[in-house]
């Protein structure tokens, strides 16, 4: 791979990262009405071609599970709809229902592409 190909790949990753962060900014914690990005709930975003892994935590280990499910599902669905995205895996941590949330969200049927 030459320098030019690496530059294009890097630009593609940066564009994808920007699109992902734009989508994540739109997701609001339903309990307090503030963006999950403003609350700094997103811990990590890994981009490997069309596969995206997103680690996040919730506002508290005991926030209502229904809100945790909603946030995690919105994260997965919003990012999945972006062009070129083939798979999105969400990993919620630091919550008493984290395993159940991760299982349900990651095994749910992906949304239709626009």
What are the pLDDT digits (tens) for 67-83?
999 999 999 999 999 99
3-state secondary structure of 29: strand
The pLDDT value recorded for residue 64 is: 93
Angle at 90 between CA 31 and CA 46, to 5 degrees: 120
Q: Sort 20 into a burial class: Cβ within 10 Å, 0-12 / 13-18 / 19+.
A: buried
What are the boundaries of each domain within the chain? 3-107
For the chain, counts of helices (H) and of strands (E): 3, 5
Q: What is the DSSP string of 4-19?
A: HHHHHHHHHHHHHHHH
Quote the CA–CA distance of 79 and 70 in Å, as a whole number: 14
Residue 1 has pLDDT above 70, yes or no: no
Question: What's the whole-model pTM score?
Answer: 0.90
Q: DSSP assignment of 91-109, as one string? A: EEESSTTHHHHHHHHHHSP
Distance CA 65, CA 52 (A): 24
Domain with residues 3-107, CATH architecture: 2-Layer Sandwich (3.30)
pLDDT at 65 over 80: yes
């Amino acid at each position: 791979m030459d320098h030019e190909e690496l530059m294009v790949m890097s630009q593609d990753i940066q564009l994808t990262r920007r699109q992902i962060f734009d989508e994540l900014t739109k997701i609001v914690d339903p309990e307090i009405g503030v963006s999950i990005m403003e609350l700094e709930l997103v811990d990590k975003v890994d981009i490997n071609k069309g596969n995206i892994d997103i680690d996040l935590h919730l506002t508290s280990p005991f926030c209502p599970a229904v809100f945790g499910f909603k946030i995690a599902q919105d994260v997965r669905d919003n990012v999945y709809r972006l062009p070129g995205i083939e798979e999105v895996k969400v990993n919620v941590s630091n919550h008493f229902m984290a395993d159940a949330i991760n299982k349900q969200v990651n095994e749910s049927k992906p949304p239709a592409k626009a």
